[in-house]
Amino acid sequence: MGLDLVSFIVNDYDEAIAFFVEALDFVLTEDAASLDGDGGPKRWVVVRPPDLSTGLLLAKARGAEQERSVGDQFGGRVGLFLRVDDFDVAFERMSAYGVTFHTAPRTEEYGMVAVFEDLYGNKWDLLGPPSSRS
């Protein structure tokens, strides 16, 4: 048993794909035309970390309630945790892309960590292994 997908509300499929693939080094694993529960057109878009573990189903916001949730899916708290093998490489790639970091990298018992925001303002932890920085 495992957690396959987490729904992630976005404003635009293509801008979200670009962010996750270019800034976070995710892999676009699915992008297909589909229908929503009301029979309306949508896309089934899935991005996953390179190890192809739990992915994000990018769901385009529909209606005022969903649009209000974009960028505030976790009530202002860190809601997602991206574990990487090489913290320094990931931090540099993300910084070069223009990702906003809310904290400088620091060492904790569970590894290197820095809080960043995605393209909509949701907060994430970038986590590296404990030995990624001396």
Where exactly are the structural domains of the chain?
Answer: 5-69, 78-127
In this structure, are residues 18 and 10 in contact, taking their beta carbons and an 8 Å threshold? no
How much is the pLDDT for 56?
97
User: Which residue has tokens 């990487």?
Assistant: 84
- The better pLDDT of the pair 1, 16 is held by 16
List the structure tokens of 98.
Answer: 């223009």
How much is the pLDDT for 104?
97
Say which range, 16-20, 32-36, 49-53, 108-112, has the weakest mean pLDDT.
49-53
pLDDT at 106 over 70: yes
Class of domain 5-69: alpha beta
Q: What are phi and psi of 76, to 5 degrees?
A: 90, -5
**pTM, to two decimals:** 0.90
CA distance linking residue 83 with residue 113, whole number of Å: 9
Nearest to 112 by CA among 104, 124, 100: 104
pLDDT at 67 over 70: yes
CATH of 78-127, one of 3.30.720.110, 3.40.30.10, 3.30.1460.30, 3.30.70.980: 3.30.720.110
